[in-house]
């Protein structure tokens, strides 16, 4: 795997980046999602300043990320509780069968 130079366009501006081969598709997808969100915001609101639209898009993506992190942590906690409960049931079953 090697690094390569790519040019990514976000909100009408081109940014040269160096990315690893395996990262290129993710970077392209991220740029597309940002551009799509900026276009949606531009169509929905009378804001025309790209900086404002980018800030609004960043806020939305950050909110989605934090919600996802919170949900993931909650699911991990529930899974840990479920595994602990199953382990206790197994211990009880093993204890009962050995008596």
Query: How does pLDDT run across 41-77, given as a tens digit for each residue?
Result: 999 998 889 999 999 999 999 999 999 999 988 899 9
Distance CA 11, CA 23 (A): 20
pLDDT at position 95, please?
A: 82
pLDDT of 99 > 80? The answer is: no
Mean pLDDT over 23-30 rounds to 96
pLDDT of 2 > 70? The answer is: yes
In the numeric block, the tokens 């093993």 are attached to: 94
**Quick one: pLDDT band at residue 1, thresholds 50, 70, 90?**
low
Say what the pTM is: 0.71
- 8 and 27 Cβ atoms separated by less than 8 Å: yes
Phi and psi of 80, rounded to 5°? -60, -40
Task: Determine what percent of the chain is predicted with pLDDT higher than 70.
Answer: 98
- 44 and 59 Cβ atoms separated by less than 8 Å: no
pLDDT at position 94, please?
A: 86
- 39 and 64 Cβ atoms separated by less than 8 Å: no
């Amino acid at each position: 795997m090697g690094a390569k130079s790519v040019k990514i366009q976000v909100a009408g501006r081109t940014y040269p980046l160096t990315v690893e081969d395996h990262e290129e598709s993710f970077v392209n997808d991220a740029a597309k999602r940002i551009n799509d969100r900026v276009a949606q915001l531009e169509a929905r609101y009378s804001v025309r300043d790209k900086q404002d639209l980018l800030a609004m898009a960043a806020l939305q993506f950050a909110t989605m990320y934090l919600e996802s992190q919170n949900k993931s942590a909650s699911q991990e906690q529930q899974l840990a509780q479920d595994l602990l409960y199953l382990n206790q049931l197994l211990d009880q079953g093993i204890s009962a069968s050995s008596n």
